[in-house]
Structure 1
Amino acid sequence: MLEIREIEAFLSVAEELHFGRAAERLHLSTSRVSHLIRAVERRAGTQLFVRSSRSVTLNPHGAQLYAGLRAAYIQIERALDDVRRAGALGGGVLRVGFSTTLPEKLRPGLISAFERRHPECRVVASGLPTTDLFRWLGKEWPVDVFVTWMPPASAPVELPLHISPVLHRVPRAVLLGSGHPLAAHDAVDIEQLAEGGHPVIYPELPAWFGKHWAPATTPGGRTVRLRRLPAAYVEDVLRLVAEGESVHLTFASLLEAYGRPGVALVPLTGLPPVPVRAVWAAGPREHLAAVFAECAAACAGDDGWLREAA
């Protein structure tokens, strides 16, 4: 097996095509680099360079080895870099996604709390729809941690997801067209929606999440008339509600972020509030995400967000 110094010497000579420059790059003597290259060639069982008094070039065997070792070395360096960043926040950047429909105070509150506790780490925030989470599963995430609506406390075991404790709870509401017969009510109960047969939009959600968001049956056992529609974004839902008879089960803070003529938001009773949690994927950046989630939970407690929703 090649040692790391042997790999570095081989890559440096292959790239510099000069033993002296490679030695300077590695802060070694030229004779030491020559010794390391001879060791690599012994392990390979063949010469890897064509040497003359004036030049050094890779032969076909050397070119083949260079292609394989360079790719592997880059992967090793990336893995080490990820571990360094995860092990020490110093000077780092944490990419935090926030669902675009969260209560307005959460985003600045959580960022401020984290940066106060970890001034050496800067937060880069972005707003993303909740449904993006389900498109990221099994892929590389564009953020390190996502603060979003998350009714279940855990995901199916096959999903490599970490889910934090509840950071906030927001009362439920129902979004209706302004001309809907229930739009003028002070409140609407989920049993009332089911008994009246009002179609409820079921957005593009996996079953393990969606059954908490828009249940198929009410606590009283009535069937909810779910209408599955290709609505991945809140703008799609607002348009569908404004244009038709369908309603959407949502939360009381929705219109803080989105206002649209032709819709009404009415408090919904009969379903529990929607929890907000931090969610992140398993991987080399999960330590950073866990630090943020811990800080977010402390902030939620300090600011009384959970007592406020009780």
Structure 2
Amino acid sequence: MLLVLADELHFGRTAKRLRLTTGRVSQTIKKLERTVGVPLFERTSRHVRLTPLGRQLIDQLRPHVNGIQDAVQRAIDAGRGVGGVLRVGFVGAIAGQLLLRAVGAFGSRHPDCVVHILETQWNDAVARLVDGDVDILFADILAAGHPGLTAGPVLLSEPRMLAVSVDHALAGMESVSVAVLAEHPLIQGPADAPSQYQADRFPRRTPDDRPVRQGPRAGSFGEALTLVAAGRGVLPVGEHAARFYPRPDTAYVPVHDAPPIRWGPIWRTTNAGERVRAFVQAAEQPALDRPALTPADSDAPRLAVTGG
């Protein structure tokens, strides 16, 4: 309970995750604070925050709790083998391609495991992973900045491009610098994304310390590209966008001085069981240089594809 409240910083959400009443959560935390002798959380009508001693206790407890949970999961997996069901989500077309190739390699090794494939969106991907709706998420690995998540191996690094309207002044450029973000509104992504992901994809300032003007917020990648096409702002994207999302109203301009975007699997640290480890190992097989999988592939596993 203590670790869940430290992650949520909200008694209501903590109670919902633990299937308890808010009063029960509050009483348990107060009892623990009486045992320790000092407050672990600062509570007001507007927020809940960890005290310095509370943060210290959480930092010391989390590795031990994770270790216990992982040991239990290992024992369960050892008894079951790599069977059962694995729910794998992805964000965007390139993540979907990486996932499919991992599914092919995984299925040839573990045909008794059913893989459910779920498409997630910008605004719910990390939340669905944290809440346990998916076991593994294929995404920009910076999305692992949320507490309790682990980023796996980088499966693909790709150059960045800037999506602009075909009528935009930058549309005909051979390449641009990331500094141009100071001169045009920047379409915004999900507000609750991890801070390091926000700073990387939707920076507030350019490398030369000029402010970046915030454009409208989009709830999905498709919506963001439509806002770009409407001239409402520009959007940094991976190089794959030009191949997977070609639009007559949108141009993609290379950004010559931006770091690459790195894609890979992410999972809950406490869910590092045998199935997850086996799938991540399969994902490390060469990805985009392999031919696309087809339903006729002999090593295809049993799939259950679920939308949303």
Determine if the TM-score, normalized by the shorter chain, exceeds 0.5.
yes
SS in 2 for 1:181: coil
Give the 3-state SS of the residue equivalent to 1:261 in structure 2.
coil
* Counterpart check, 1:94 vs 2:86: yes
2:186 to 200, 204, 211: 200
Contact 2:161–2:254, Cα closer than 8 Å, also in 1? yes
2:171 paired residue number: 183
Distance 1:239 1:84, change over 3 A: same
Kept in 1, the 8 Å contact 2:166–2:229? The answer is yes
Q: Rg: which structure is higher?
A: 1
Give the 3 Å change call, closer, same or farther, for CA 81–293 of structure 1 in structure 2: closer
Aligned with 1:123: secondary structure? strand
TM superposition score normalised by structure 1: 0.61
1:151 to 118, 129, 142: 142
Question: Counterpart of 1:168?
Answer: 156
1:103 and 1:257 in contact (8 A); partners too: no
Aligned to 1:107: 99
Matching of residue 258 in structure 1 with residue 245 in structure 2? yes
Distance 1:128 1:87, change over 3 A: farther
**Is the CA contact (8 Å cut-off) linking 1:148 and 1:277 kept in structure 2?**
yes
Letter of the structure 1 residue corresponding to residue 189 of structure 2? P
Aligned-residue offset at 1:112: 1.1
- Size of the aligned set, in residue pairs, is 217
* Compared CA separation, residues 120 and 275, structure 1 to 2 (3 A): same
Separation in structure 1 between the aligned mates of residue 188 and residue 152 of structure 2, nearest angstrom: 25
Alignment-derived partner of residue 219 in structure 1: 207
Question: Is the CA contact 2:150–2:269 (under 8 Å) kept in the aligned structure 1?
Answer: yes
Q: C-alpha separation between the residues in 1 aligned to 2:271 and 2:98?
A: 26
The equivalent of 2:113 in structure 1 is 121
Per-residue CA shift, 1:180-214, capped at 9, x if unaligned? Answer: 011111212112332xx111112113423211223
Q: d(CA) in 2 for partners of 1:137 and 1:251? A: 23
Segments of structure 1 that go 5 or more residues without pairing to the other structure are 1-79, 304-310
Is 1:268–2:268 an aligned residue pair?
no
Could you tell me whether the CA contact under 8 Å between 2:96 and 2:138 is conserved in 1? no
Retained in 2: the 8 A contact 1:97–1:147? yes
Q: CA RMSD in A?
A: 2.9
Q: Which range moved further: 272-281 or 253-262?
A: 253-262
The answer (yes or no) to whether the contact 2:74–2:274 under 8 Å persists in 1 is no
> 1:162: Cα distance to partner?
1.6
Amino acid at match of 1:278: P
289, 292, 297: which is aligned to 2:276? 289
Q: Is the 8 A contact 2:83 2:112 kept in 1?
A: yes
Shift of the 302–245 alpha-carbon distance from structure 1 to 2, 3 Å rule, reads closer
Secondary structure of the residue aligned to 1:102 is: helix
> Contact conserved, 1:110 with 1:299, CA < 8 A, in 2?
no
Aligned to 2:126: 134
- Tell me the amino acid that sits aligned with residue 100 of structure 2: P
Contact 1:177/1:264 (CA < 8 Å) preserved in 2? yes
Determine if contact 2:82/2:274 at 8 Å carries over to the other structure.
no
Shift of 1:136: 2.8
Q: CA deviation at 1:286?
A: 4.1
Question: Which of 208-217 and 267-276 deviates more?
Answer: 208-217
Q: Tell me the residue number matched to 1:232.
A: 219
Q: Of 198, 210, 217, which residue of structure 1 is paired with 2:198?
A: 210
Report sequence identity in percent.
29
Matched to 1:253, the amino acid is: H
